[in-house]
Amino acid sequence: MEIVTRTSELHAWVAAAARSGQRIGLVPTMGNLHAGHHSLIDIARARSDVVVASVFVNPTQFGPNEDFTRYPRTPDADMAGLSAHGCDLLFMPAVDVLYPNGSDHAVRVSVPALDNILEGAIRPGHFDGVATVVAKLFNLVRPDLAVFGQKDYQQLLVIRRLAQDMGYPIEIVGAPIVRESNGLAMSSRNQYLTADERKAAGTIHATLQWIGQQLATKSMSIAAVEREASLRLEAAGFVPDYTVVRRAEDLRVAEPGTTSALVALTAARVGSTRLIDNLLLDL
């Protein structure tokens, strides 16, 4: 695996791959990688000739109450994991490489309607930062496909809308959530859980499954299911930010009797850790 830190080096590498007719897959990450991230590399590896991964802690997606400097950085472990899973090129730029005029003065990309609800309402400006850095990476790498995890479901929709509206000829691949044995979605944040919190965190996935069961049997309305699901999380020691059922295609409120595909989403805190999860509902 080759490692580059400058855009000129990245340009030269991907240009050579493109000239030789190779299909380029991209996996953007913020590092501190785990098995969930490695599954994205595996998917890109299976569907591309060469795989480019980025490790970049993006300052523009951190809110005023989120500490950019404390985000865990594990470059040696990240490099070893990416190499083991067949990554061909790792792009590890410094902040001033992607934001030459400073991140506070950078041109921003926004995705209206999706950027200010749910996660966007709780973390204002977060999805502007995500869309901005992903647009930069798309422009630099010009991949044929890019793989993103479904655990960040709203982010996945933001990126799909970004690619569609900006005319990027890139296939956006949503990768299935990788879970621990108790159903907890793998996340870099899981390392902050105590043993008891990690055990209790299986309640999140179980609650999402319960939502699907209730809606499949039509025993409760969507609003009633959302309320009861939040109570279930609270009873397990969580403080939910939201527990909702939305239209899977655009996260709009699902009207009673809707025939659209649905997704259940939740964000909840246990101790000092905030966890997110979702489940596409097959009704």
The amino acid at residue 123 is R
Q: Span 218-246, mean pLDDT?
A: 96
Phi, psi angles (nearest 5°) of residue 7: -65, -30
The set of catalytic residues is 37
| pLDDT > 80? residue 257 | no
Find all residues with CB under 8 Å of 226, minimum gap 6, and list them.
211, 243, 244, 245
The pLDDT assigned to 121 comes to: 96
User: What are the extents of the domains in the chain?
Assistant: 2-175, 188-281
183: left (phi over 0), alpha (psi -120 to 50) or beta: left
The pLDDT assigned to 79 comes to: 98
CA pair distance 189, 187, nearest whole angstrom:
5
**DSSP SS3 for 3:** strand
Q: For residue range 18-67, what is the model confidence (pLDDT) as tens digits?
A: 999 999 999 999 999 999 999 999 999 999 999 999 999 999 999 887 87
Q: Which CATH architecture has domain 188-281?
A: 2-Layer Sandwich (3.30)
Residues belonging to the chain:
283
259: left (phi over 0), alpha (psi -120 to 50) or beta: alpha
- Please name the fold of domain 2-175: Rossmann fold (3.40.50)
- The model carries a pTM of 0.95
Phi, psi angles (nearest 5°) of residue 266: -145, 150
